[in-house]
Homo-oligomer: A and B are copies of this chain.
Amino acid sequence: MPDPGRATLSTVARAAGVSRQTVSNVLNTPERVGPETAARVRAAIAAQRYVPSTAARQLRTRRSSALGLRLQPAGDGINGSVLDRFLHALTEQAQAAGYRVVLFTAPDDTAETLAYEHLLRTADLDGFVLTSTHQGDPRTAWLTEHDVPFVTFGRPWDTVDDAGQPWVDVDGAAGTRAATEHLLAAGHRRTAFLGWPDGSEVGDDRRRGWEEAVAAAGAEPGPRLQSVDDVRAARALVTDLLRDAGDDAPTALVCASDSLALGAHGSTLRTGLPLEVVGFDDTPVAAALGLSSVAQPLAEAAAAAVEQLLDRLEGRTAPRGRLLAPRLVVRRPT
């Protein structure tokens, strides 16, 4: 109820001395409008500060210019800030392209598919952005089956039926490879890896980068540790390693996340033993502690995600799938 005399197509048309449709054409299909008429209409639009009503447009075209994103439960929170930054960049990119981001929550992936259905019916969302995809994800299957446009932040890990879905991801292996190469170049002989339990696609990918870099350098691989993504668990594990390994102890450690890196860092402070730690995700915690970390190009990822989704939405064909290179941020502990 802010403005009683809101400008509409008709008011603009009247002012410009043309019909509704012509005004509409100026906005949507300018090539159909004569240059002189177009100028007159544009002037009227500007004068009345006319902006089309998305509601009316949506009703007619069945497109809402809105994208849905499920907000995950906060989780660990250290790594959580990754999604936070992604969300920010995503909103910015979508906004620049004339789209809005609408949030929703769901307790789990299955509930999320129900939410899709509801949102599609009520809000006519044009598409969805999925995060944290994993093997056997019920969400991509549902969306594909119902022919709903979407893009995933995360590769389609299923070897089957990744039927040309658009996706964006960051090359985790390349990140840990760069981290490992950096450590080897700095003179470290034995580098260890601290990752998550086997079976997590993202985790396995990051471990692979370390393995490859060690092998490529012809170095002897240090121990390969596994811990759930928890600071204390990681600290205990690393402390045990450092105490028991003696002279064989690695002098550098590549971690699959900053949570793990924070744990390892705590262990070095406690034991006083030297261990250069590299984390993953370049969270504020890593920055605060002066830990090197692999930074995901989140703004770029968000931009690519929006681009892919819009390509699909607006009927353009484009290469599907985009793997971005992360960047190692080198710091010295302070």
User: Which residues of A are at the interface with B, using a C-beta cutoff of 8 A?
Assistant: 1-2, 6, 49, 51-56, 58-59, 62, 64, 66, 71, 73-74, 76-78, 80-81, 84-85, 87-88, 91-92, 95, 100-105, 118, 120-124, 146-148, 230-232, 235, 259, 262-263, 266, 269-270, 283-285, 287-290, 334
- Nearest chain-B residue to A6 (Cβ)? B121
Query: CB < 8 Å: which of B91, B105, B123, B232 contacts A88?
Result: B105
CA distance A84 to B232 in the complex (A): 23
| A58 to B, closest residue via Cβ | B55
CB distance from A151 to the nearest CB of B (A): 17
Chain B residues in 8 Å Cβ range of A289: 231, 266
Residue of B nearest to A270 (CB): B269
Q: Which of B2, B231, B284, B290 contacts A148 (CB 8 A)?
A: B2
Within the complex, the shortest CB–CB distance from A210 to chain B, in Å, comes to 23
Kindly provide the distance from the CB of A287 to the nearest chain B CB, expressed in whole angstroms.
Answer: 8
17 A–B contact pairs at CB < 8 A?
A: A55-B56, A74-B85, A74-B88, A77-B283, A78-B284, A81-B84, A88-B105, A95-B104, A100-B103, A100-B104, A100-B123, A103-B103, A231-B289, A232-B290, A262-B285, A262-B288, A263-B288
**Closest CB-CB distance, A235 to chain B, in whole Å?**
8
In Å, the complex CA distance between A1 and B6 comes to 31
Is B87 a contact of A71 with CB atoms below 8 Å? Answer: yes
Determine if B78 and A124 form an interchain contact, defined as CB atoms under 8 angstroms apart: no
A101 to B290: give the CA distance in the assembly, Å. Answer: 36
Central interface residue in A73, A103, A259, by most chain B CB within 10 Å: A103
- In the complex, how many angstroms separate the beta carbon of A285 from the nearest chain B beta carbon? 6
A59 & B59 in contact (Cβ 8 Å cutoff): yes
Q: Contact: A232 with B64, CB < 8 Å? A: no
- Complex interface: chain B residues within 8 A of A334 (CB): 232, 235
Contacts of A101 in B (CB 8 A): 102-103
Q: What chain B residues lie within 8 Å of A78 (beta carbons)?
A: 284-285, 288
Q: Which residues from B are CB-within-8-Å of A290? A: 232
What separation, in Å, do the CA atoms of A121 and B8 have in the docked complex? 10
**Closest 3 A-B residue pairs measured CB to CB?**
A77-B284, A231-B288, A55-B58
A259 CA to B84 CA in the complex, in Å? 18
Residues on B with beta carbons closer than 8 Å to the beta carbon of A59: 53, 55-56, 59
Most B CB contacts (10 A, CB to CB) among A81, A230, A289 go to A81
Complex Cα spacing A230 to B290, Å:
12
Complex Cα–Cα for A168 and B238 (A): 44
- Beyond A55-B59, A74-B81, is A147–B283 a contact (Cβ under 8 Å)? no
A284 B80 Cβ-Cβ under 8 A: yes
CA distance A1 to B19 in the complex (A): 30
Taken together as a complex, chains A and B put the C-alpha atoms of A262 and B269 apart, in Å, by: 14
Query: Could you say which residues of chain B place their CB within 8 Å of the CB of A124?
Result: 53-55
Q: Which residue of B lies closest to A63 (CB)?
A: B1
A52 and B122 contact, Cβ closer than 8 Å, known pairs A101-B103, A232-B334: yes
A80 CA to B88 CA, complexed, in Å: 12
